[in-house]
Amino acid sequence: MLQLSAASQLRIEAFRKRVRGLSYAPMTEAELAQMPDRRRQGLANSAIEGIHLTPEEQAFLQMLDEERVPHDLRIGLATAFAM
């Protein structure tokens, strides 16, 4: 489990509430099973560019997995989270 500040935890939970208010088809078990590999590839590509995720960003992605948010919806949410 990642160690986050109280402010970061509140921010993650605010986004979780936002996600739960959206209408989407949750990822299937098979799609969810692909996420670790997709994440490894994305992190490797980011590392090449010198970009590394903060613990807060890692927790955000974990929350998206827990909520089974599909990939196409994650992009907009991640953009909003980065702002």
Q: Which residues, at least 6 apart from 25, have a Cβ–Cβ distance to it below 8 Å?
A: 70
> What is each CA distance from 62 to 34, 58, 72, in whole angstroms?
14, 6, 16
Identity of the residue numbered 14: A
Mean predicted confidence (pLDDT) in 3-22: 95
Between CA 48 and CA 59 the distance in angstroms is 22
75 Ramachandran zone, left/alpha/beta (phi>0; psi -120 to 50): alpha
pLDDT of residue 42: 87
What are the pLDDT digits (tens) for 42-73?
Answer: 889 989 999 898 999 999 999 999 999 998 99
